[in-house]
Amino acid sequence: MSAPAPSPTSPGEPAGYRVPSLGYRILIACLRLIPSFFLLVALPVTVLTFVHSRGVALPISTFAVTAWGLALIAFGTARYILRPTRAYGPISIAASLVALLYLVYALSLSPYRLVVPGGSASIVAGYSLFLELVMIVPVIGILVGIVVTIEDARSGTERLTFDFPA
Amino acid sequence: MATLVVPTHRRPPAIYRLARALRWIGAIVLAALIVFAGTAAYSAVEVARSSAQSRGLSASFAPNGTIEIAGSFSLSNPGLYPIRGLQMTARIANSTGVFLGRLGGGQIDISPSSTGTIPISLYIPVSGTDAAASLLTEDQYLRVDAWGNATYAYVFPVSVTLSENRSWGAPFENFRASVGAPSGGGGSVTVPVTVTFSNHAGFPEVGTLTFVIVSSNLVDCGGGSFTLDAPPGTLFDQTQNVTLSSGCSPSGGQLQSTYSSGGTVISLPREAIP
């Protein structure tokens, strides 16, 4: 999608915005992929692999972490690129929904049973309540997406004035 | 880049401010949860490194024919969050799987930068034909299954299960009480009674070991007593001559022994007399 045309200005209410070009947004989005990939895929997979190499059973598979991480990255990237468009609200909802599903999936794996390698001890740790607290974040993200969608439906360029001030 | 338009300074509309406020709230909640998760993980590692300890575990004879295992379980919490509702339970079985007893303690709360202690004590009946009687005379491995529950950092319920075999040193290891050949004649017949055992327990045996020779038809033929002062790790081997009651034959009977110390009375396994 391309960004909408710059908003008209009225004499009594000066307003304006400067939307970065699609190519520029794609470039920045690609740069954002580096830390996103590190935080959402590389770091957790490395930690899980390290722990697994020590003989500790994993609470979640590296494949699942990679798949969910890539999904989050994809939606996050699309969300950034589409920010000046009307698709920003719906894609925000979708991105938060993916994050919420990721947490629901992790929640289904709780509690985690850890058997100490070479020993006769096992530890069962529940983290359901914590994940339920974390779910507040994507729920808020969904609310934000809904509000933005409503705002864009009312006035397609209203928020651009403030998101991309000239 | 798009065309530069006149800058604006007007106040954003309410719906935009609502979205922005929600974004801020989301970011703050996320940051707080990340900090909480990080500090909770760090604190949990510190607690794990501090390692729980069983302190002063000791065994001793107690009244009513029991052995008391007493001590305390302590856990230090150097972390930033409290450990709440900590309780411990242990189940002990002998080497053949016979249930001997259960001990437990708690619930306690351990504040950050403090140490919590749960006193534990277990009374195991060992006299006569009790299931744990073998603890008196046989070194063995006891199977200890322990588990504990607690809530860490307010939101993480944790339970720990531990199974291990712990060696048990019998206080009357390889206990033998034997009756020798009768001697004498006329109205006075004596038999030598020999008692041997090793004290493999971690506590001294100070008291009196009383024995009675019972004939095959359950008549008391006579008896005697030894004064015990057996420190841990020592061998006890003493013989005493016993004058039998007139006409009483120990053959086919049994030797009944009792250890007493203070208010403690422990019946030892009966030994058959050939």
Q: Please answer yes or no on whether B161 and A122 come within 8 Å at the CB atom.
A: yes
**Res A165: pLDDT:** 86
Q: What are phi and psi of A159, to 5 degrees?
A: -75, -20
**Res A62: pLDDT:** 93
Percent of chain B with pLDDT over 90: 39
Q: Please answer yes or no on whether A16 and B26 come within 8 Å at the CB atom.
A: no
Q: Which of B168, B191, B219 lies at the terminal end of a domain, its last residue?
A: B168
- CATH number assigned to the domain comprising residue B128: 2.60.40.10
pLDDT band at B107 (very low <50, low <70, confident <90, very high): confident
Number of structural domains, chain B? 2
B41 lies in a domain?
no
Residues B134 and B96 in one domain: yes
What pLDDT digit, counting tens, does each position of B163-222 carry? 888 888 999 999 999 888 888 766 788 999 999 999 999 888 999 999 999 988 888 999
Residues B164 and B235 in one domain: no
What ipTM score was computed for the predicted complex, to two decimals?
Answer: 0.84
| Residue B86 in this model has a pLDDT that exceeds 80 | yes
| CB neighbours of residue A30 within 10 Å | 12
Residues with Cβ < 8 Å from A145, sequence gap 6 or more?
A89, A90, A91, A92, A93, A94, A95, A96
Candidates A9, A24, A147; nearest CB to B22: A147
Domain that holds residue B99: 50-168
B40 lies in a domain?
no
Candidates A13, A127, A159; nearest CB to B156: A127
B93 lies in a domain?
yes
B137 lies in a domain?
yes
Amino acid at A8: P
Give the whole-angstrom CA distance, residue B205 versus residue B136: 12
Residues B56 and B143 in one domain: yes
Residue A16's SS3 state is: coil
Mean pLDDT is lowest, of A91-100, A110-119, B27-36, for A110-119
B22 lies in a domain?
no
Residues B161 and B260 in one domain: no
* Nearest-5° Cα angle at A52, A51 to A56: 80
What pLDDT digit, counting tens, does each position of B222-243 carry? 999 999 999 999 999 999 999 9
Candidates B1, B16, B160; nearest CB to A18: B1
Q: Is B159 on the interface with A (CB under 8 A)?
A: yes
- Nearest-10 crossing angle of helices A88-108, A136-154: 160
**Res B88: pLDDT:** 86
Contact list in B for residue A99 (CB cut-off 8 A) is none
B15 lies in a domain?
no
**Res B120: pLDDT:** 80
pLDDT band at A8 (very low <50, low <70, confident <90, very high): very low
Q: How many CB pairs under 8 A join A and B?
A: 118
Could you tell me the pTM of the whole model? 0.75
Q: Please answer yes or no on whether B1 and A24 come within 8 Å at the CB atom.
A: yes
